[in-house]
Amino acid sequence: MKKIFLYAFYLTSFISLGGCVKDTYPGAEISPYIAIFDIRNLYRGEDLVLNRDNMKGGTRLAAMVVSDHSGGNLPEGLLVVQDARRLSALRGISIPLGADAASFVPGDSVIIHVEGKTLSRVNGILEIKGVTRGDIEKVSSGNEIPINRVTIGQMQTSPDTYESTLSVIVKGTFDPLPTPTDVLSGDKTLNDGFGDIILHTEAAASFAKDPAFVNANYFGIVFNTQVKEGQLVPQFRVRTGADVRKLSSDIQVAPVLITGFMSDVAGGDGNYEYVQLMATTDIDFAATPYAVVVTNNANASTPTGYPSQGWATGNMRTYKFSLSQGKAAKGTFFYVGGAGKKINGSGSTDMATSNWVRAFDYTKNDGDGFGLKTGGLLPNSGNASGIAVFKDSAVTVNSTPVDVIFIATGGSLYQSGKGYRIANTDFYDIINPITMAQQPFYRQGSNTLSLVYNTADLGYFNMLGGMYNPALGKWVRARAQNNRLLTKSSPLSDIEGEGATVLK
């Protein structure tokens, strides 16, 4: 009975104390700030007046200005701001402010009161109408705006996502190529290897007469135009002449491209792995020798550690095929690999009639110059493997390939100048296109892209596809991994029918 009395006393005391705390606790307050991400999601095709209810208690934006009207190339009177308040997702929006828009510059941090204003899509651009200069408070200036690298393909796929955001298109090339007298003024088709977009430059822009470069980075803002049935089509505008950063004007054509490979057939790999390649020009290998080198960075491959001799390391790390006989016509496939010449290992479709420029039994023979005989050219593990093509039969630590591709990222690959050199491709850059820093090795700087390793022993052919334009010296449609699961009876068309294309 005494215990019951004590429990009752404690319970009563707890309730009393809880009541006191509840009476004095002020409670949570809803933030007055709403993310641009949430604002954009409110639009359903019709004008909407913004209020506390539809903004869930919000009344204002805290955003960064990205528009710059000093160059005279942005839609007149639009203040463009962005934020990443919701899920770190960068979103932007435009605000018609008239002449006052020019009083703000990139890097201004602002608070914008939007309660009672109208969300509307005008000429394809989502805007918040009704905002005045008095609704905007500038908090600070000179803030750094993070670089947002976006492919044209992403802009095309999700035009609403990137609208009114500051982005950079890397390695943009005009198609057709500009002549020495061409200038930026007007509408020009810009390609970055992932798609085409119109780069619009007003005739009255301060930089309209600047030269149209062969290869450049373009910092600017995505604006949409609206066509039939509400479809949004992105357009890109740089703000000032400083937004165009010239890269090399030299067009470097890769004479040989890596278009696919069989790294793991159904069954035993020995003598059946191969690399599929394509010529971008007519090649007589007796007159112009080449080399194909593969690297295997499995943990058991020696020498271990970072490859001090790069592609020429040899032993179990790299293996070379010298191409010094045969021919390949422009736009045609040819093959390098094991003497088995089968599409998917023992007992599969014969490929002996295909153009094999170099094939021998690598399980019984060392490589041409370096590399020990091996049961597998490329590893069946998560560690990185790679393929590189060189325009020379001699490959040294300083040799730079004309094309290269890597699968996976594991193993000792790069450290302090020791590693595998890369080429300027759709995947890699010898000079970082944003920072302009030297980065000639895989896994150095921005050179981190790789293909994904496939499950072992199933017979996947790694078709890379893509479209290469020799006139531009670049991939106008970048390569992408397209795994083709082959059978023992798969025809040659399964690996060539939808493969890479070289434009005439």
Reduced to 3 states (helix: H, G, I; strand: E, B; else coil), residue 157 is: helix
Domain closes at, from 96, 114, 140:
140
- In this structure, the strands spanning 232-238 and 196-201 are parallel
Tally of residues, the chain: 504
Q: Is residue 22 part of a domain?
A: no
The CATH code of the domain that includes 191 is: 2.40.50
CA distance 492 to 356: 14
The number of CA neighbours under 13 Å toward the Cβ of 405 is 24
C-alpha closest to that of 233 among 272, 270, 195:
195
Same domain for 365 and 304?
yes
Same domain for 297 and 378?
yes
Same domain for 502 and 367?
yes
Same domain for 238 and 370?
no
Query: What's 430's DSSP letter?
Result: S
Cα–chain-centroid distance for residue 468? 17
Same domain for 103 and 177?
no
Long-range contacts of 351-358 (CB under 8 A, 24+ apart): 351/492, 354/492, 355/326, 355/328, 356/326, 357/285, 357/323, 357/325, 357/326, 357/328, 358/292, 358/321, 358/322, 358/323, 358/325, 358/326
The CA-to-CA distance between both ends of the chain, in Å, stands at 99
Our count of domains for the chain comes to 3
Residues 6+ apart with CB under 8 A from 334: 276, 277, 278, 279, 326, 328, 354, 355, 356, 357
Same domain for 239 and 256?
no
Q: Is residue 25 part of a domain?
A: no
Domain closes at, from 246, 278, 310:
246
Q: Is residue 27 part of a domain?
A: no
The tokens describing 342, both together, are 């089968």
Same domain for 71 and 97?
yes
Q: Using CB atoms within 10 Å of the CB of residue 373, give its burial: 0 to 12 exposed, 13 to 18 middle, 19+ buried.
A: middle
Specify the pLDDT at position 227: 87
Q: Is residue 429 part of a domain?
A: yes
Domain closes at, from 90, 113, 140:
140
Write out residues in the chain with pLDDT < 70, as ranges.
1-28
Q: Is residue 74 part of a domain?
A: yes
CA distance 246 to 213: 7
Q: Is residue 20 part of a domain?
A: no
Reduced to 3 states (helix: H, G, I; strand: E, B; else coil), residue 117 is: coil
Same domain for 280 and 425?
yes
C-alpha closest to that of 152 among 194, 214, 201, 92:
194
Residues 6+ apart with CB under 8 A from 242: none
The tokens describing 174, both together, are 């005009």
Same domain for 121 and 161?
no
Structural domain of 84: 36-140
290 and 323 Cβ atoms separated by less than 8 Å: yes
Specify the pLDDT at position 28: 58
Residue type, 134: G
Same domain for 469 and 357?
yes
Specify the pLDDT at position 169: 96
83 and 64 Cβ atoms separated by less than 8 Å: yes
Reduced to 3 states (helix: H, G, I; strand: E, B; else coil), residue 477 is: strand
Same domain for 355 and 465?
yes
Same domain for 340 and 312?
yes
Which strand (E) or helix (H) includes residue 38?
helix 36-42
